[in-house]
Chains A and B, each alone.
Chain A
Amino acid sequence: MSISALLSMGRCCCRCCCPRGLWMLSAPCCDDRRMCVCPGPRRIGIPVRSSSLPLFSDAMPAPTQLFFPLIRNCELSRIYGTACYCHHKHLCCSPSYVPQSRLRYAPHLAYATFCRPKENWWQYTQGRRYASTPQKFYLTPPQVNSILKANEYSFKVPEFDGKNVSSILGFDSNQLPANAPIEDRRSAATCLQTRGMLLGVFDGHAGCACSQAVSERLFYYIAVSLLPHETLLEIENAVESGRALLPILQWHKHPNDYFSKEASKLYFNSLRTYWQELIDLNTGESADIDVKEALINAFKRLDNDISLEAQVGDPNSFLNYLVLRVAFSGATACVAHVDGVDLHVANTGDSRAMLGVQEEDGSWSAVTLSNDHNAQNEKELERLKLEHPKNEAKSVVKQDRLLGLLMPFRAFGDVKFKWSIDLQKRVIESGPDQLNDNEYTKFIPPNYYTPPYLTAEPEVTYHRLRPQDKFLVLATDGLWETMHRQDVVRIVGEYLTGMHHQQPIAVGGYKVTLGQMHGLLTERRAKMSSVFEDQNAATHLIRHAVGNNEFGAVDHERLSKMLSLPEELARMYRDDITIIVVQFNSHVVGAYQNQE
C-alpha cells in the first residue's frame, strides 16, 4: 500500500471513527499509547495524561507514526545518541545542545516525569536495533510531498467584476507538527461587518488547549472590538429577540482546523458579556474606532475571560476540565489585521510577523513588524524588572526564562504565572481529580512573590502598506529558529514572483562549451523544480526550513530524514512550524497611494 494511501486512511480513521466529542469521552484508552511514546522533555511539567487528552484529534500524529519502523538503522542510532546525551546531562543541558528543540520549560524540574517515557523509549529503540535490517530507507518525493502538503491551505480573495479590489490577493498557510499532537494553531477570517482581514498564528505550550481556544475565540473579540455601536446594538437586539444574527466573521479554514462544539455556548456567553459591556460603556459619541486600541482590548479581554472561566468553573464536568486546561496551558499569538493599506500587527510572545519588500532592483528585503517577547528583548527585560520589586530583579528572569521556567514573556493562559498562590490552590483543590493528580499544575513556580508575572497584552505595530510591500509572513518560532528572516523573505519572494527573477544566463563573450552549459542548466532546473512542486508558498517555506542543507538548497535526503523521524524524536530536531503568507495586491495598494 502506498504511503499516501496509508496517510489518507490514517486521517480518515481519525475523523470518521472519532468525531471530536466521542473521542474525548473515550480518550483515556488512547492515553497510554500517547504517554509511552511521548518523549517528555517538551512537556515536562505537565503529566502527559492531562495534556494529551483533549481536543487535538487529527492534527496528524498518524503519518509520522507510520514511518517510524522505516527509519534507517544508522540514522536511528544517531538520533538515539543525541537523545542519550540529553538524558544524562539534562541538568546542564541548555537548549542550544539540541539545536532545533527549544524547550519552553527547563528540563531539570520534572525529572521524575521525564524518566518514565525515557525508559520506554530506551527499550523501544533497542528493540528496533535488533529488528531492523541495514537497508537504506528514504521517503520518496511523493511521500515527502504528501506529508508536507497534508495541512496546506490557500485562499484567494474572490474577484468582483473581474477585479480584486482588496489589498490582499490571498494567503497560503500550512503547518508541520513536531509535537504529537501539534500545539500550534492558525486562524484566518474576513471581517464582515467592518472591512479588513484577520490572520494569526498561535503557538501553544504545555498542551494545545490554550492555543486552540485562542485560535477560535480571539478574532471574535477583535471583530467585536472593531464594531461600531449601532452594529453591536443590532446584534444584541437580535440575540434578545431571537432573530438571526449578523455574521461577523467569514472563516478561511483548513479541514483540520477545528472548532470546539462543546464550549461554543460558553464562549458565546463570554463574548456576549463583552459586547454588552462595550454597549454600556459607549458614551454616545460615535468616535472612530482605533484599531490598535481594539486589538489590545480584545487580547486582554480574552485572556481575562479565560482566567475567569477557569475560576468560575462549569457545572458540566467536561467543560469544567476544559476551561481549566485552557487556563493552565499557554499560547502566544501573532495577529495581523489588514484593511486597505493599514496593516496592524498585534503580537504577544515570540511568534513573528515579517514583511517582504521588493526593492527597485528586484531584490528582497525583510522588515520585521513585531518584537519578540523573550529574554533577547532588552525592553521586555526592563519591563519585567520594573513591574516587580527590586529584590526580585534576579529571580524574575533566570536562564533567559521567566522565573526560570517560561521562555515567552507574554502569553495567553498560563494562570500559574498570573494567579496568586491562594487562588491557584483553591482552584486546583476544587477542580476535578485529573487536575489534582497533575504534578505540574500543583507545582508553584519558585520565587513567586508578586503575581501576575505574565500578561497577554500585545504590542501593536502599525505599518502603512506601500506598493513595494509584496507579502507578509506570519510564523511561529519553529520557522524563525531554523531560518534567517532574510532567507525567509527571499525564498517566498522568489517563489511568488516565479523564477522570472532568477538571473537569466547569458553566454556573453565567455567561452562556454555545450557540456558545461548543459550541466549548469540541469542544476538550475533541479532548483526550479522544487519551486514548482509546491502550489503553496507556506509549504515551500517549510520545505526549505526542514530540508535546507548548508548551501541553502533543499536536500531531499535531509528532508526525507527529518520527516521520517518518529514523533517522539521529531521534537528534538524541530519545533512545530506554522506559517501564513499573505500576498498583497500592489495595484490596489498603489491606487490607494495615488488617491492621496
Chain B
Amino acid sequence: MFYWLLSVVRRQKTSRRWQNWPSVRSSSTAAEVHSVALPAQAQVVICGGGIMGTSVAYHLSKMGWKDIVLLEQGRLAAGSTRFCAGILSTARHLSIEQKMADYSNKLYHQLEQETGIQIGYTKTGSIFLAQTQDRLISLKRINSRLNVIGIPSEIISPKKVAELHPLLNVHDLVGAMHVPEDAVVSSADVTLALASAASQNGVQIYDQTSVLHVMVKKGQVTGVETDKGQIECQYFVNCAGQWAYELGLSNEEPVSIPLHACEHFYLLTRPLETPLQSNTPTIVDADGRIYIRNWQGGILSGGFEKNPKPIFTEGKNQLEIQNLQEDWDHFEPLLSSLLRRMPELETLEIVKLVNCPETFTPDMRCIMGESPVVQGYFVLAGMNSAGLSFGGGAGKYLAEWMVHGYPSENVWELDLKRFGALQSSRTFLRHRVMEVMPLLYDLKVPRWDFQTGRQLRTSPLYDRLDAQGARWMEKHGFERPKYFVPPDKDLLALEQSKTFYKPDWFDIVESEVKCCKEAVCVIDMSSFTKFEITSTGDQALEFLQYLFSNDIDVPVGHIVHTGMLNEGGGYENDCSIARLNKRSFFMISPTDQQVHCWAWLKKHMPVDSNLLLEDVTWKYTALNLIGPRAVDVLSELSYTPMTADHFPSLFCKEMSVGYANGIRVMSMTHTGEPGFMLYIPIEYALHVYNEVMSVGQKYGIRNAGYYALRSLRIEKFFAFWGQDLNTLTTPLECGRESRVKLEKGMDFIGRDALLQQKQHGVYKRFIMFILDDHDTDLDLWPWWGEPIYRNGQYVGKTTSSAYGYTLERHVCLGFVHNFSEDTREEQVVTPDFINRGEYEIDIAGQRFQAKAKLYPVASLFTHKRRKDDVELSDLHGK
C-alpha cells in the first residue's frame, strides 16, 4: 500500500544497486534472508534501518567499532525515512540542532563521492518567509546565530524573494531569510549510502528481522531477542523511530522513550509547464504552516497543521496502518495556504497526497543518549520531522557518546535523561504531541509554556497559590509559579502575550523582586530534586567525596555548594549538600536532574555497598523565604533566634515552625539574597505556609514566583545548571575555584582535568554582561543564545538573561572564548582579556553595548535603605 515516493525509476535503480553490494548480507528476496543466520554475538546491535540507525552504524564503524549488527524489521529505509520530504535545513532554533544539521549537510554533500551512490544531493538553498514583524524577528535571531557558526545566511527583502523564486506571491511578506547552503536530498538513498559505507566497514545488516525485546542482566544490556534468534551484545541502540516507545517498553525493565507519532501530509504534483529548475529554493512559509520544494519539475508541499492527527497511540495497529490514506479534507487549510503563496499552481495536476507519520517528542527536541536504567541501552529517535537534517550529526554524536563515553558537544537538551517515566503516559504523549506538531511552525517566543499535559505533579499548596493569582510554568512535569497576578490586574490572553519585547508581567515581577529585597517573599520551590544518601559507616562520605568537587567533610549542619563533575571537569550536576549527621547527607539538585543525577549516582555507586540512596523529592515541600525580614518571620514562628550569630549562612537545622516539627530549615535562598529554605514534610506544608503567611503579614510578606527568583539570581551572577552550566563547563571557567577542593589533596572525578586547566588557564570564561544602551521599553529583549562580540569579533553566546530590577539594566550571562584571529583556534581567556574589551550583544541583528563583569556587582550586596528614605508607602502590605 505504500506509495513509492521517489518514483518508480529510482526504485528500480535502488534495487539494482542493492544487489550489487556484496557486503550487505541481505537482499530483497526472502530466500536469501532465510539462508543467512544471525550471528550469535556482536558488540553493538542497532535496531532500525532508517536514516538514524544507518547513521549510527556508519559513524561507529568509522570510529573503529567493527562488530556491529544492524537489524531492520522491514526493508532498509522503508519507514518514515522513505517518506521524508527530503529537505535539509540548517535554520534551527537550538545551537546544537544547527550544528547537527550543518554536519549532516557536509556529510551528505561528500557522501556521493565517498560511496559512489547517488543520493540526489542538490544545493537549492531555502527561503524562510515572514508575514509578520514578529516572525521576522524570530528569523533574525536564527540568522545571527547561523552566521556565527559559519553557516551563510541573510535577511532579504520581499523583492529579493521574488527574484529568487519566480512563482511566489510576495505581497503579504515583510521579509525573509535566505540560507543558500541548504539542500534537498533523497533520504532513502542517503540511508542506503550510509548503509553501504557502513557495511564496507564491516557492519552486518539484516532486514526482515524484528527485535522482540532487549535482554538485561543487572542493569546492563546482555543481548537481543529477535524473531530470528538471539544475539548477545554489550550495546543496544534503539533507532526504531515511531516504534521506539513500544520497543523501550517491551523490556523487562522498561526504558521510557517518550515520543508519539502524528499523521503528516504532503502533496506531490506533476511538473509545471516549464518544469521547475532542480535548484529552485525550498520555501518555508511558517505563518502559512507550509513548506514547498521542487520535485521532479513539479512541487512537493506539506505542512504542520493546527489540528494534528495523532496515530498509533495504542501501539502498532494494523487497522490504523491500513487507514493511512490521503485525507484531503484535513489538508485543505494547507492547500489554501499553498495556493495563496503560489497562485499560479491552480492549474497544476495532482499526483498524490502522501500520508507519512512523523514522530514527535514532548518538548520538540529529539531524543538521544543512554538509558538511565539500563547501561548499554542507547536511543536515537523522536526527530520531530527533521530526521534528515539531524541524521548525520545526531548519528555522529551518539557514536561519540558510545565510543568515548560522552559526545563532543553539549547535548543535554537532547538527552534521554531529561525525561523520566513520568512523561511516558500514552495519554500524555498523545495530548502533548498534538500541541508540539503545530508548534513547529508557530512563532517561538521567549518564556513559552506548554499548555497540554499540565498539572501532573503539583505541590500541596497548588490550590492555595492558584487561588491567589499564581500563573504557572512546568518543569519536568512539576507546576511552578511564575508570578502572582494581583486581583486588580489583568494580563493579556495567551496568544496576545507572545512578544519579543517587554512582557506584560514586567511590573508584577518588579514588585515581587522589590519585596524580596525589602521585606520577605515566599516562593514554592518544591520541584527541586531531593536525594538522601545514608550509610552505616563512613561509606557515604567517602563516596560523595569522590563524586563531588567540593569538600563534603564539613561539620554536621553545614551546607556545601558543589558540583558533580565528569572526567573532563565539566558539570554533570550542580547541587547543594547538607550534612544531616555524620553518615547522612541531603542533596538538592535542579528539577530536571531527577533522572540524570540518579543515574549518575547509581552508575558510580560501588556495588554491594551498604549505601542507601533515596529519592525524597515527593516527601518534602520546599518554601523559599527570601528577604531581610525572613529572619523575623521564622524566629517568631519558632521562638528561636534566627540571626546570623545563631544561624549562620549555609547552615541547616531541623526545627519546629508553627506547630509542625521536623522542618529542615536552611539558611540559603539560591539567589544570593538573605533568607531561608524550608524543607517541610508534605503533610505539614499547608500548615507551615498558612503560619508563615499570617505571621509574615506584618513584615509585608507576599507570594513570589520563579521569574522574580530568576531576576534575582541572574543579577547576582548565579549560574544555573542546565541553562548556564553543562557537561562541558568547569568550575574554573565560571569563577568557582573556591568550590573545588583542589588544594586538599583528595581525589575526585574530574580533578586531573581541573588541575590541568588551572595550570594552563581556561579557554572560556563565564561572564556577566550589563546592557548599556538598551531601552527596556522599546528594544527587543535578550533571551538566550545571543552572540557576544568583543571588539567586533564573535567570542561566544549568552546562556541566560533577565532584567535586573536593582541595576535597572538587562543582565545577560554567557561564555566568552578567545578565538585566535588567524587560525580561529581557541586560546586561553585571561581576566585581562576580558577586562580589555568592548562588548556587544547581538539581539536579532541589532547590537547593544554591554559591560562585562567577572564578578557580581558588589554594591548589590550592601543594599541598605537609609532612614530618611522611608516613606508612607512602606507601611502598606506588599
Enumerate chain A interface residues (CB-CB to B < 8 A).
499, 502, 504-507, 511-515, 517-518, 520-522, 524-525, 528
List 9 A-B residue pairs with CB atoms under 8 Å apart, sorted by A's residue number: A504-B329, A506-B325, A507-B326, A511-B349, A514-B347, A514-B349, A515-B347, A518-B332, A518-B336
A520 to chain B: which residues have CB within 8 Å?
328
The answer to whether B345 and A514 touch across the interface, beta carbons within 8 angstroms, is yes
Give the distance in Å from the alpha carbon of A36 to the alpha carbon of B350 in the complex.
63
The answer to whether B335 and A514 touch across the interface, beta carbons within 8 angstroms, is yes
B348 to chain A: which residues have CB within 8 Å?
513-514
Chain B residue nearest to A528 (CB atoms) is: B329
Q: Is B554 an interface residue (CB 8 A)?
A: no
A513 to chain B: which residues have CB within 8 Å?
346-350
Chain B residue nearest to A521 (CB atoms) is: B332
Q: Is B269 an interface residue (CB 8 A)?
A: yes
Question: How far in angstroms is the closest Cβ of chain A from B837?
Answer: 56
Interface membership of chain B positions 342-376, coded 1 if the CB is closer than 8 angstroms to chain A and 0 otherwise: 00011111111100000000000000000000000
Of B267, B335, B349, which contacts A521 at CB under 8 A? B335
Of A505, A512, A515, which contacts B329 at CB under 8 A? A505
Q: A513-B349, A517-B350 are in contact. Are A506 and B329 (CB under 8 A)?
A: no
Of B325, B328, B332, B339, which contacts A515 at CB under 8 A? B339
Of A504, A514, A528, which contacts B325 at CB under 8 A? A504
Most buried by B among A507, A520, A524: A507
Of B267, B332, B353, which contacts A525 at CB under 8 A? B332
The answer to whether B350 and A512 touch across the interface, beta carbons within 8 angstroms, is yes
Question: How far in angstroms is the closest Cβ of chain B from A402?
Answer: 51
The answer to whether A514 and B350 touch across the interface, beta carbons within 8 angstroms, is yes
Give the distance in Å from the alpha carbon of A512 to the alpha carbon of B329 in the complex.
15
The answer to whether A521 and B347 touch across the interface, beta carbons within 8 angstroms, is no
A515 to chain B: which residues have CB within 8 Å?
339, 345-347
B350 to chain A: which residues have CB within 8 Å?
507, 512-514, 517
The answer to whether B332 and A506 touch across the interface, beta carbons within 8 angstroms, is no
The answer to whether B339 and A514 touch across the interface, beta carbons within 8 angstroms, is yes
Give the distance in Å from the alpha carbon of A210 to the alpha carbon of B349 in the complex.
65
The answer to whether B338 and A514 touch across the interface, beta carbons within 8 angstroms, is yes
The answer to whether A517 and B328 touch across the interface, beta carbons within 8 angstroms, is yes
Give the distance in Å from the alpha carbon of A502 to the alpha carbon of B336 in the complex.
21
Chain B residue nearest to A511 (CB atoms) is: B349
Q: Which of B307-356 contact A (CB under 8 A)?
A: 325-329, 331-332, 335-336, 338-339, 345-353
Most buried by B among A499, A504, A517: A517
B267 to chain A: which residues have CB within 8 Å?
514
Give the distance in Å from the alpha carbon of A512 to the alpha carbon of B352 in the complex.
10
B326 to chain A: which residues have CB within 8 Å?
504-507
Give the distance in Å from the alpha carbon of A517 to the alpha carbon of B334 in the complex.
12
Question: How far in angstroms is the closest Cβ of chain B from A526?
Answer: 11
A504 to chain B: which residues have CB within 8 Å?
325-329
Chain A residue nearest to B343 (CB atoms) is: A515
Give the distance in Å from the alpha carbon of A517 to the alpha carbon of B348 in the complex.
10
Question: How far in angstroms is the closest Cβ of chain B from A356?
Answer: 24
Give the distance in Å from the alpha carbon of A504 to the alpha carbon of B349 in the complex.
19
Give the distance in Å from the alpha carbon of A212 to the alpha carbon of B329 in the complex.
46
Give the distance in Å from the alpha carbon of A502 to the alpha carbon of B327 in the complex.
12
B338 to chain A: which residues have CB within 8 Å?
514
Q: A517-B335, A521-B332, A525-B332 are in contact. Are A512 and B349 (CB under 8 A)?
A: yes
Give the distance in Å from the alpha carbon of A506 to the alpha carbon of B354 in the complex.
11
Question: How far in angstroms is the closest Cβ of chain B from A460?
Answer: 43
Give the distance in Å from the alpha carbon of A518 to the alpha carbon of B329 in the complex.
10
Give the distance in Å from the alpha carbon of A525 to the alpha carbon of B334 in the complex.
13
Chain A residue nearest to B331 (CB atoms) is: A521
The answer to whether A514 and B327 touch across the interface, beta carbons within 8 angstroms, is no
The answer to whether A521 and B328 touch across the interface, beta carbons within 8 angstroms, is yes
B329 to chain A: which residues have CB within 8 Å?
499, 502, 504-505, 521, 524-525, 528
Give the distance in Å from the alpha carbon of A503 to the alpha carbon of B327 in the complex.
11
Most buried by B among A502, A512, A513: A513
Interface membership of chain B positions 576-600, coded 1 if the CB is closer than 8 angstroms to chain A and 0 otherwise: 0000000000000000000000000
Give the distance in Å from the alpha carbon of A515 to the alpha carbon of B343 in the complex.
9
Which 8 pairs, one residue from A and one from B, show the smallest C-beta to C-beta distance?
A515-B346, A521-B332, A505-B328, A512-B350, A514-B345, A513-B347, A514-B348, A507-B350
Give the distance in Å from the alpha carbon of A245 to the alpha carbon of B169 in the complex.
75
Question: How far in angstroms is the closest Cβ of chain B from A531?
Answer: 12
The answer to whether B352 and A518 touch across the interface, beta carbons within 8 angstroms, is no
Chain A residue nearest to B348 (CB atoms) is: A514
The answer to whether A514 and B346 touch across the interface, beta carbons within 8 angstroms, is yes
Chain A residue nearest to B336 (CB atoms) is: A518
Q: A513-B346, A513-B347, A513-B348 are in contact. Are A518 and B327 (CB under 8 A)?
A: no
B332 to chain A: which residues have CB within 8 Å?
518, 521-522, 524-525
B331 to chain A: which residues have CB within 8 Å?
521
A525 to chain B: which residues have CB within 8 Å?
329, 332
Give the distance in Å from the alpha carbon of A525 to the alpha carbon of B326 in the complex.
16
Give the distance in Å from the alpha carbon of A514 to the alpha carbon of B349 in the complex.
6
Q: A507-B350, A507-B352, A521-B335 are in contact. Are A514 and B328 (CB under 8 A)?
A: no
The answer to whether B325 and A507 touch across the interface, beta carbons within 8 angstroms, is no
Chain A residue nearest to B339 (CB atoms) is: A518
Give the distance in Å from the alpha carbon of A139 to the alpha carbon of B338 in the complex.
33
Give the distance in Å from the alpha carbon of A452 to the alpha carbon of B208 in the complex.
84
If A506-B328, A522-B336 are given as contacts, then 5 extra A-B residue pairs at C-beta distance below 8 Å, sorted by A number, are: A504-B325, A505-B329, A514-B339, A515-B339, A521-B335
A505 to chain B: which residues have CB within 8 Å?
326, 328-329
Chain B residue nearest to A502 (CB atoms) is: B329
A512 to chain B: which residues have CB within 8 Å?
349-350
Chain A residue nearest to B347 (CB atoms) is: A513
Give the distance in Å from the alpha carbon of A521 to the alpha carbon of B336 in the complex.
9
Question: How far in angstroms is the closest Cβ of chain A from B454?
Answer: 23
A502 to chain B: which residues have CB within 8 Å?
329
B346 to chain A: which residues have CB within 8 Å?
513-515, 518
Chain A residue nearest to B328 (CB atoms) is: A505
Chain B residue nearest to A505 (CB atoms) is: B328
B345 to chain A: which residues have CB within 8 Å?
514-515
B335 to chain A: which residues have CB within 8 Å?
514, 517-518, 521
Most buried by B among A499, A513, A514, A524: A514
Question: How far in angstroms is the closest Cβ of chain A from B298?
Answer: 10
Give the distance in Å from the alpha carbon of A518 to the alpha carbon of B353 in the complex.
13
A522 to chain B: which residues have CB within 8 Å?
332, 336
B347 to chain A: which residues have CB within 8 Å?
513-515
A507 to chain B: which residues have CB within 8 Å?
326, 350-353
Question: How far in angstroms is the closest Cβ of chain A from B518?
Answer: 48
Most buried by A among B325, B327, B350: B350
Question: How far in angstroms is the closest Cβ of chain B from A516?
Answer: 8
Chain B residue nearest to A507 (CB atoms) is: B350
Give the distance in Å from the alpha carbon of A196 to the alpha carbon of B41 in the complex.
67
B351 to chain A: which residues have CB within 8 Å?
507
A528 to chain B: which residues have CB within 8 Å?
329
Give the distance in Å from the alpha carbon of A513 to the alpha carbon of B342 in the complex.
14
A524 to chain B: which residues have CB within 8 Å?
329, 332
Chain A residue nearest to B338 (CB atoms) is: A514
Chain A residue nearest to B326 (CB atoms) is: A506
Question: How far in angstroms is the closest Cβ of chain A from B751?
Answer: 58
Give the distance in Å from the alpha carbon of A528 to the alpha carbon of B348 in the complex.
26
Question: How far in angstroms is the closest Cβ of chain B from A484?
Answer: 27
A517 to chain B: which residues have CB within 8 Å?
328, 335, 350
A499 to chain B: which residues have CB within 8 Å?
329
Give the distance in Å from the alpha carbon of A525 to the alpha carbon of B331 in the complex.
11
B269 to chain A: which residues have CB within 8 Å?
514
Question: How far in angstroms is the closest Cβ of chain B from A497?
Answer: 15
Give the distance in Å from the alpha carbon of A517 to the alpha carbon of B349 in the complex.
10
B349 to chain A: which residues have CB within 8 Å?
511-514
Question: How far in angstroms is the closest Cβ of chain A from B167?
Answer: 12
Question: How far in angstroms is the closest Cβ of chain B from A530?
Answer: 15
Give the distance in Å from the alpha carbon of A511 to the alpha carbon of B347 in the complex.
11
Give the distance in Å from the alpha carbon of A522 to the alpha carbon of B329 in the complex.
9
Give the distance in Å from the alpha carbon of A292 to the alpha carbon of B354 in the complex.
57
Question: How far in angstroms is the closest Cβ of chain B from A299?
Answer: 48
